Amino acid sequence: MIDSYVYVIIALLPLTAIMVVIQVNPYQALVIRAILGAVAALVYAVLGAADVALTEALVGTMLAITLYVVAVRSSLVMRLGILTEAEAEQESYFKELIARFKTVINQHYLRLELIEYPNSQALEQALMTKEVHATCQKQEPIAADNEGIYHTAIRVHRLFEIMENELNSTETTLSYVQVSNQEEKH
Nearest to 175 by CA among 127, 117, 141, 106: 127
Tens-digit pLDDT profile for residues 14-28: 998 999 999 988 888
Q: Delimit the domains of the chain by residue range.
A: 4-74, 77-176
CATH number of 77-176: 3.40.190
Element holding 78 (H helix, E strand): strand 77-83
- Mean residue pLDDT of the chain comes to 83
How far apart CA 83 and CA 85 sit, in angstroms, is 5
Nearest to 125 by CA among 165, 163, 81: 81
Tens-digit pLDDT profile for residues 47-64: 889 999 999 989 888 888
Backbone angles phi, psi at 5, to 5 degrees: -65, -25
Tens-digit pLDDT profile for residues 60-102: 888 888 888 888 777 788 899 998 864 445 567 788 888 888 9
